[in-house]
Amino acid sequence: MDIAQTAQDLGSFATVAWTALAAFLPRLVATAAVLVFGYLAAGWGGRAIGRGLERTGRLDPTLLPVLAAAIRYGILIFVFVAALSQLGVQTTSVLAALGAAGLAIGLALQGTLQNIAAGIMLLWLRPFRVGDYIEISSVAGTVEELALFATRLRTWDGIYKFVPNSELWNTILTNYTRNATRLILIEFGIAYEDDVAEGRRVLKEHAEAHQNVLRFPEVQVVPLSLGDSSVVLQLRAWSSTADFWATRWDLTEGGKKALEAAGITIPFPQRVVHMAAGAPPTPAEAA
């Protein structure tokens, strides 16, 4: 009697479970379809809108990756809520739960949120853009991408650097390519026996004849210091930022040749020691 009753109860349970499964299965399939297609649509939509914004040419390249990521995450949130509604879940309570979970996650991930906040401030104030060469105390390189969490840099020797945004925001940042012009400073040492005024004239004429040197501010050559073996002349010339290094190298090489052509000596580092009469012998002399 008990076995028959148990079999009947199991049969009733199986019937109810199958009926519930048959009713719930279409929702489950629809939910899976929404999640899969929504995930694919989010990736495709983010890339497509990013490419469209890039083709317009009206937005700074620094903003494009951030806008594409924001669009993708926005679509994913909408897809998640739509999938829950397919399951019959009340989305109002889910959004409230997500808000509470977001607060807890935010407290646990304070460092990540700092990077996001720093990324937003960097995008707002724009101390640098894609293609600028920047430097902080720990790293220097050309900006390749500014995202919400971190910035990608490429060093002058081709090394990849992944820098958290908070590192860039909470320190002094130097942007070498932000301004249109830069000052070139080059030091030349000439012998004490040579004419300082002549050396200044030769270097100034050489710099003024260079095609990349700006006429204003004018070129200056100043006697910077009196070294151990030479009088140090400093050449000061302005050029465009794009031509800075090429111009500096040309002026360094050409300045040496111009001084030599004018008969002005560039001495090797040396030191002259005068021994006073009656001074005690050195240990080497005593030996």
Q: Quick one: pLDDT band at residue 83, thresholds 50, 70, 90? A: confident
Q: Which amino acid would we find at residue 43?
A: G
pTM above 0.75? no
Condensed to tens digits (0 to 9), the pLDDT of residues 86-109 reads 666 666 666 666 676 666 655 555
**Residue 1 in this model has a pLDDT that exceeds 90:** no
- Compute CA distances 83 → 92, 166, 204, whole Å: 14, 35, 74
Condensed to tens digits (0 to 9), the pLDDT of residues 127-158 reads 999 999 999 998 999 999 888 889 999 999 99
Helix ranges (H only) for the chain are 2-56, 64-86, 91-108, 110-125, 165-169, 196-208, 244-261, 283-286
Non-local (6+) Cβ contacts of 50 within 8 A are 64, 65, 67, 68, 71
Q: Quick one: pLDDT band at residue 33, thresholds 50, 70, 90? A: confident
Domains parsed from the chain with CATH numbers: 15-108 (1.10.287.1260), 128-175 (2.30.30.60), 181-261 (3.30.70.100)
Is residue 70 within 8 A of residue 81, CB to CB? The reply is no
The predicted structure's pLDDT at residue 229? 87
**Residue 21 in this model has a pLDDT that exceeds 80:** no
